A and B are shown apart, each in its own frame.
Chain A
């Protein structure tokens, strides 16, 4: 697999997670207390760094084929989940993941809880901590799995860091939820990528030899993307037909 492909896959997947974390942080920071929110963010980053430092090197002790089976299986499950949701959203069957709505909900919930003046706001700290830790764990998982499988954790980490920096800079510049990012399109692409890599690594870990080796990823992406786009078009038509019937 080319380095460009690895970089793009990790960048896109991590950008989605960063958008979700930033939405939570902005909503709580703006409505409650930036100081308490940032304490939560920093605490989550410290816990995250400790977890990665403790668990990351352990991955190198596991035989590569066993790692590929586990990682490939998990990526395949995640990829299929993302792809299914993105297809249903694109077809109008499932509501779009709306960062504006999440931002408004988080903001309303935060405003409802009384804020003690001058004291550390436990609510802001906890919400920011949980949001950053959970999304951060997903970023760490993406970096470790993609990086270890391709023997290039450094590039995967650079791609993840670039995604987080781009999203945070954009978020701070806009000071509003990143609803301008076409999230479902991004998730659709990430779903296709994760499904492809999961299929490729899972099968390779189980002993399969792909014709053309790593080059097999290209037709695999094309087939999965083609089938899912075709299916989405069918779902869209079926959904529209049912909606017309109901009206």
Chain B
């Protein structure tokens, strides 16, 4: 039973979060920040694209092979 639950959790984690947790955190942060900025009365649309572009660079930079 426990093994099945663990397998189900592993599948859900892999399905939702995937290889790099930074991407999931950034997606949630982008939407949350947009909501906060909008609530403050400022134009909020640039927040999500900016976070997306930063996290793409950040995540792929982490995967880049290192020189010895």
Residues of A within 8 A of B (CB): 69, 72-74, 76-77, 80-81, 83-85, 87-88, 93-94, 195, 198-199, 202-203, 205-211, 216, 220, 223-224, 227-228, 231, 235, 238-239, 241-243, 245-246
* B residues contacting the other copy or chain, number (CB 8 A): 36
A-B contact pairs, 15 of them (CB 8 A): A76-B48, A77-B16, A77-B23, A77-B27, A84-B63, A87-B60, A195-B52, A202-B27, A202-B34, A203-B30, A207-B44, A208-B47, A224-B52, A224-B56, A238-B65
Does B5 have its Cβ within 8 Å of any Cβ on chain A?
no
| CB of B1 closer than 8 Å to a CB of A | no
Tell me if B17 is interfacial: C-beta within 8 Å of chain A.
yes
CB distance from B29 to the nearest CB of A (A): 10
Q: How far is the CA of A69 from the CA of B33 in the complex (A)?
A: 12
Give 1 or 0 for each of B8-26: 1 = CB within 8 Å of chain A CB: 0000000011111001101
Residues in B with CB closer than 8 Å to A210 are 45
Measured CB to CB, the residues of B under 8 A from A are: 16-20, 23-24, 26-28, 30-32, 34-35, 38-39, 43-45, 47-49, 52-53, 55-57, 59-60, 63-68
Determine the distance from Cα of A212 to Cα of B48 in the docked complex, in whole angstroms. Answer: 16
Q: Are B19 and A199 in contact (CB-based, < 8 A)?
A: no
- Count of chain A to chain B residue pairs whose CB atoms are closer than 8 Å in the complex: 118
Contact B19 A80 (CB under 8 A): no
Whether A211 contacts B45 by the Cβ 8 Å rule is yes
Specify the chain A residue showing the minimal Cβ separation from B36: A206
Decide if the interface of chain B is mainly helix, strand, loop or mixed. helix
Q: Give the residues in chain A near B48, CB-CB below 8 Å.
A: 76, 199, 202-203, 206, 208
Given known A203-B45, A206-B34, contact A239–B53 (CB-CB < 8 A): no
Q: Are A202 and B45 in contact (CB under 8 A)?
A: no
Set B24, B35, B57, B65: member contacting A206, Cβ < 8 A: B35
Indicate which residue in B39, B45, B64 contacts A238 across the interface (CB closer than 8 Å): B64
Partner pick for B66 among A199, A216, A242, CB 8 A cutoff: A242
